[in-house]
């Protein structure tokens, strides 16, 4: 699902844009394009577009992603115990390696998604990226340790 966040502000001077949330940003931090000649006070709108839950949606039979091979193996084995077969694939996003759990059958997508993160009776995991960088996935560790 694509999500768009729109941030508005006003052009102050010398490439400085003051945002409505009282933060400011410099034009050259946004783009390498030359700053157009803008009168002071010109309203600026910045749109940020991104895909949410890209690795959790079941698209291409991928139902989970993690930075840790150990987590991928344990979740894959847990799916197997639920009679859901999957494979682990390693890919790179930027400078980070990420492990993807890809199901072998399309028919298992909803059941796997519910088991891993949606259903109260499942694992109830949050994605790794909902924690600060390099911090362990607390929801996974809690489930693993029976909390």
pLDDT score at 130: 86
What global pTM score does this model have?
0.69
pLDDT digit string (tens) for 74-92? 999 999 999 999 999 999 8
DSSP code of residue 95 = T
Residue 110: φ, ψ to 5°:
-60, -40
- Which of the four pLDDT bands, split at 50, 70 and 90, describes residue 104? very high
Q: Which domains does the chain have, with CATH numbers?
A: 2-51 (no CATH), 59-144 (3.30.70)
pLDDT digit string (tens) for 137-147? 999 999 999 88
pLDDT digit string (tens) for 41-52? 999 999 988 766
Locate 136 and state its tokens. Answer: 């362990």
DSSP code of residue 35 = P
Query: Is residue 53's pLDDT more than 60?
Result: no
């Amino acid at each position: 699902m694509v999500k768009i966040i729109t941030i508005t502000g006003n052009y102050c001077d010398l490439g400085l844009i003051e945002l409505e949330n009282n933060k400011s940003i410099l034009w050259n931090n946004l783009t390498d394009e030359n700053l157009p000649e803008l009168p002071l006070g010109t309203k600026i709108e910045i749109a940020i577009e991104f895909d949410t839950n890209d690795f959790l949606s079941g698209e291409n039979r991928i139902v989970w992603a993690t930075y840790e091979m150990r987590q991928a193996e344990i979740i894959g084995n847990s799916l197997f115990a639920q009679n859901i077969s999957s494979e682990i694939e390693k890919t790179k996003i930027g400078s980070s390696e990420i492990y993807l759990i890809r199901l072998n059958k399309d028919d298992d997508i909803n059941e796997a998604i519910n088991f891993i993160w949606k259903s109260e009776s499942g694992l109830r995991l949050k994605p790794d990226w909902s924690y600060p960088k390099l911090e362990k996935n607390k929801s996974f560790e809690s489930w693993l340790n029976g909390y």
